[in-house]
Amino acid sequence: MIYDALLVGAGPIGIEMATVLKRAGLSYMHLDSGQIGNTITRWPRNTHFFSSPEWIAIAGVPIQTAAQEIVTGEHYLAYLRQVVELFDLEINTYETVSEVGGVSGDFAATTRDLTGAERRYRSRSVILATGDMNRPRLIDVPGENLPHVTHYWSDPHLYFRRRLLIVGGRNSAVEAALRCWRAGAHVAISYRGAELDEKRLISRLHLEIDLLIRNRQVDFYPLTEPQEIRPGVTVLRSLASDGEKREIASDFVYLATGFEMDQRLYEQLGVAVEGEERRPVHDPATMETNVAGVFVVGTAVGGNQRGYKVFITTSHEHCTKAGRTIAGRHRPDAASAASGSWVGNLPQRDYPLTSKDVE
């Protein structure tokens, strides 16, 4: 069988893309190397989104909460399961695409499932909804791989009455500092900037961390970066002209240095990238890359984002653009069904989106 589309990635936008394809009557195979919403499963417990529910709702299905509050990662995963059940979407989870190639109208992919069994699929088009947070952005310092060092923190309780050094100064780092401090950790922050940037932080987070730093309840080391990590000690190097080094006691180290996307499939397909962030080249009107028949949707559009500009919030239209293009090319009668008029009940922002919204 030759599918109309091979869809890779089952995060929020991958799932929304699947609803567009299904509503249009297009045949597709949907794959993910993990579970649906896999990136969110790595979030710390009870972490809230920075965006309100209406901006992260997908496929026209609203997110309802008991108190109309900002949802947690756990709540959102339950919502994603609900959407999959509601539309009865077929998703092959824990099936990794190892190789993909071909030309428009005739692509071939090889995968491996949980048992190690190899499978092959053919499709007329490929849609990459792989996200941009596939692996941590490493800082390449000695000790980064030690057991007490992490790029993913899971629960503030783990740091109760222990010394935790957090490297970074964006929303995720500051929220970790606040939650761990409230759980009884002795928290210190190392940041490359001279001060935490109020313009890049959620206002509430900035006010709270600024008060703790001023009251010396959280130690703050501006203009520093880790030089070496050892058990119990982290060596920070000053970014000032003197380059002074100092040892900071640290039982645990959380490197909130961001994430990068896995571009292996893009390279196999010949998708060009541009800029320092290696953004996939694509036509914003259709979401088709420089390779005919290959489309990119979701946050992967932004490449290895450092200044976040592409979020779930801004990616809804990617699905309808790609779906309309694929339907018009392979099933002209289905193009109107893929045009996305059903997205009309999703709100349109009337103010600029900034990096404060989601990070």
- For residue 350, tell me if it sits in a domain: no
Tell me if 187 is assigned to some domain. yes
pLDDT computed for residue 304 by the predictor = 87
Flag residues of the chain having pLDDT under 70.
307, 334-335, 340-359
Total domains present in the chain: 2
Do residue 14 and residue 104 come from a single domain?
Answer: yes
Chosen domain end from 232, 255, 278: 255
What's the pTM value of the predicted model, to 2 decimals? 0.89
Query: What pLDDT does residue 279 have?
Result: 93
Residues 251 and 300 in one domain: no
Q: What is the CATH number of the domain that holds 219?
A: 3.50.50.60
**In the prediction, which pLDDT does 181 show?**
98
Evaluate whether residue 332 is within a structural domain. Answer: yes
Kindly compute the dihedral angle of the four CA atoms of residues 307, 313, 319, 320, in this order, to the nearest 10 degrees: -120
Do 227 and 271 lie in one domain? The reply is no
pLDDT for position 353: 44
Q: Verify that 87 and 58 share a domain, yes or no.
A: yes
Q: What is the pLDDT of residue 346?
A: 43
Q: What is the mean pLDDT of the chain?
A: 91
Whole-number pLDDT of residue 340: 61
**Are 126 and 162 part of one and the same domain?**
no
Both 115 and 18 in a single domain? yes
Q: At what angle do helices 312-330 and 12-23 cross, to 10 degrees?
A: 30
Question: What is the per-residue pLDDT for 240?
Answer: 86
Domain boundary among 255, 281, 312: 255
264 and 123 in a common domain: yes
pLDDT at 343: 46
Q: What is the pLDDT of residues 256-301, one digit of tens each?
A: 998 889 999 999 999 999 988 899 999 999 999 999 999 999 999 9
Domain residues for 37?
Answer: 2-135+259-345
Would 353 be classed as within a structural domain?
A: no
